[in-house]
Amino acid sequence: MEKFIPITDLINDNNATKEPPLQSTFEKYEKKFKALADQKRLHILNLLCQQDSSCVCDLSELIDMPQSKLSYHLKILLDANLIQKETKGTWSYYTVNTKEINHLLSPELCCLFRPSNCC
Amino acid sequence: MEKFIPITDLINDNNATKEPPLQSTFEKYEKKFKALADQKRLHILNLLCQQDSSCVCDLSELIDMPQSKLSYHLKILLDANLIQKETKGTWSYYTVNTKEINHLLSPELCCLFRPSNCC
DNA sequence: AGTTTAAATCAATTTTTTTTGATAAATAAA
DNA sequence: TTTATTTATCAAAAAAAATTGATTTAAACT
């Protein structure tokens, strides 16, 4: 059989390989998707958007996860800018960064990780 | 300082921990986000949606990646249902699963991984 | 002041993912 | 029919991420 050559290959000029700004775009989204690529963190996000604010010790009970483990996962979400932290005294309160989530995910999916009013 | 207790905590009943269907939802999306959580795979997706169809050997040149490595990453995308495969003779042609991408990602982001007409 | 609590961080271990080069299966081309 | 090409898969090694329990820091209580 003869190799099939799509029309677009004949039309497009192959500048596809040199994309200087795309590289850093991919890095940015890699980080964000890495943060989402874990059941536990998806669960955390889902819980966070049901409370409008939760401290680590409460979340730890809710999700039944040791504190150091939870802090580790919260940090990953925080570094990806998917959640935000506010410290009051010794407590750290975390909230979903709705704006960022909306920018990243489809409306259907956002509902899973967005305050309960939506869906 | 006294511990701050958000109003929603006083209102919501704490059924948050027992979510039998949510568990499998998280599993499903974990897999999809894992597939997206890699620069190389994002690059592959981006290239794939510029061609409407590419075989492994062409992609391998375009992205400058050894064949076995590329096949490995294509399989991860395929298993997550983010791309589709069609075999013609010895060649495998891959295309972006636009429907799935649209369901998952925001319109802004979809543009990065969707045929060039959009943005 | 002394004790307790909340949360972040650390180092060591375990688990998962990725890379690499080789091989196998199937088709194409000579 | 032989040879070359395309792609998937395999096993071993390397790299990255997650888990665990302990420690540290800081603030809150008594």
**Nearest CB partner across the interface for B6, out of A34, A51, A104:** A51
Q: Judge whether B112 is closer than 8 Å to chain A, CB to CB.
A: yes
Å separating the CA of residue B66 from the C1' of nucleotide D9: 15
pLDDT at A116: 63
Is residue B82 within 8 A of residue A37, CB to CB? The reply is no
| CA A80 centroid distance within chain | 7
pLDDT of residue A112: 86
Q: Where are the alpha helices (DSSP H) in B37-117?
A: 39-48, 56-63, 67-79, 98-104, 107-110
Predicted ipTM? 0.89
pLDDT of residue A57: 95
Residue A106 clears pLDDT 50, i.e. is over it: yes
Q: Which CATH architecture is the domain A38-113 placed in?
A: Orthogonal Bundle (1.10)
Q: How many CA atoms lie within 13 A of A45 on its CB side?
A: 30
Q: Which chain A residue is nearest to residue B65, measuring alpha carbons? A: A17
Topology of domain B28-111 in CATH is Arc Repressor Mutant, subunit A (1.10.10)
pLDDT at A51: 83
Q: Is any atom of nucleic acid chain C found less than 7 Å from the CB of residue B99?
A: no
> pLDDT tens-digit profile of A21-58?
888 999 999 999 999 999 999 999 999 999 877 999 99
pLDDT value at residue B105: 97
| pLDDT tens digits along B66-93 | 999 999 999 999 999 999 999 999 999 9
When pLDDT is averaged across residues B21-41 and rounded to a whole number, the result is 96
Residue ranges of domains in chain A: 38-113
pLDDT digits (tens, 9 = 90+) for A77-98: 999 999 999 999 999 999 999 9
Closest CA to B70 of B106, B51, B94: B94
The rounded distance, in Å, linking the Cα atoms of B22 and A103 is 23
pLDDT of B34 above 60? yes
Nearest nucleotide (C1') to alpha carbon of A37: D17
- The residues that bridge with B88 in the sheet, in sequence order, are B91
The torsion defined by the Cα of A97, A102, A107 and A112, in degrees rounded to 10, comes to -20
